[in-house]
Homo-oligomer: A and B are copies of this chain.
């Protein structure tokens, strides 16, 4: 992942040209943002893009093609960032305030990069943002950033988020709330896990999402009582304690 110093200007101008070409095919005033969650190192992480040479990050986003369903637009943006298709997505809010916080940072940074966007470009117009979250297995993904203003693509723990552009802090908070709700009511957690896992690993995921601890013994019983887990062989890690069973979610096609 390159820092902004390494981005060569010709490349930026070429990317800019492509971007302008692309936005001509999109609906104005409407953007999509995706909060991409993964679980790693006992943390719930979000994929963020560093904005130019600033300390600010933003969510991966994009526009909706004139003939594209909004869910498909979200999947297309995810594919672009992760190379993964058929991801689990969930729409959770649409934001549409008029003010655009950090507009100054946006303008200055583009100026510094020698980027001039036409006034009538989608980026310079008022935008309403349709927000999705997506759950992915961090092991399967190789995040990419190829927008002209992206200098770095990074997983960041929701515990210690960097400064965020626009209203993206609020969007991430809403995404976490919706994820908690969904994990309470339906089977989505498997999207964040490896195919097999120990009960301890699953508990760590729940603790990262709900930001609280669960009693180990009761968590185990609760999960098993749902009848969604299949018990496999034990996992010998080489550590000096009883080897835990591996589990797999049943009925995942």
Q: List chain A positions with a Cβ less than 8 A from chain B.
A: 27-30, 64, 66-71, 91, 93-98, 126, 128, 130
Candidates B27, B69, B93, B98; contact of A97 at CB < 8 Å: B69
Q: How far is the CA of A150 from the CA of B95 in the complex (A)?
A: 29
Q: For A71, what are the chain B residues with a Cβ–Cβ distance below 8 Å?
A: 96
Q: How far is the CA of A96 from the CA of B96 in the complex (A)?
A: 16
Complex A-B: 14 CB contacts under 8 Å: A27-B128, A28-B29, A29-B29, A29-B30, A30-B30, A64-B96, A66-B126, A67-B126, A69-B97, A69-B98, A70-B96, A71-B96, A94-B94, A96-B130
CB closest residue in chain B, given A32: B96
Q: How far is the CA of A69 from the CA of B95 in the complex (A)?
A: 9
A112 nearest CB across to chain B (Å):
29
Q: How far is the CA of A95 from the CA of B68 in the complex (A)?
A: 12
A96 nearest CB across to chain B (Å):
3
Candidates B27, B66, B94; contact of A70 at CB < 8 Å: B94
Q: How far is the CA of A97 from the CA of B130 in the complex (A)?
A: 13
Q: How far is the CA of A30 from the CA of B64 in the complex (A)?
A: 12
Q: Is the CB of A27 within 8 A of B126?
A: yes
Q: Is the CB of B98 within 8 A of A68?
A: yes
A72 nearest CB across to chain B (Å):
9
Q: For A94, what are the chain B residues with a Cβ–Cβ distance below 8 Å?
A: 70, 91, 94, 130
Known: A29-B30, A67-B98, A69-B96. 5 other contacts (CB 8 A): A29-B29, A64-B96, A69-B98, A71-B96, A91-B94
Q: For A96, what are the chain B residues with a Cβ–Cβ distance below 8 Å?
A: 64, 69-71, 130
